[in-house]
Amino acid sequence: MTRIGYARVSTLDQNLDYQLDELKKSGCTKIFQEKTSSVNKRPEFEKCLDYLREGDTLVV
């Protein structure tokens, strides 16, 4: 079982550091991240979903 993380902020001037730190603390071994509004396409989120396998845990 693998813990997979996904971090996102809505604008380019926002920072992902806090989310990334928390995902690492929670044991995520693979983290997908992006800076984009939720109304736009989210390619890293799509890659994240494709990466997940049965038994994995997604941490957001």
Contact status, residue 4 vs residue 49, Cβ threshold 8 Å: no
Q: Pick the catalytic residue from 10, 26, 37, 38.
A: 10
Give CA torsion, residues 39, 41, 43, 46, to 10 deg: 80
10 among known catalytic residues: yes
Residues catalogued as catalytic = 10
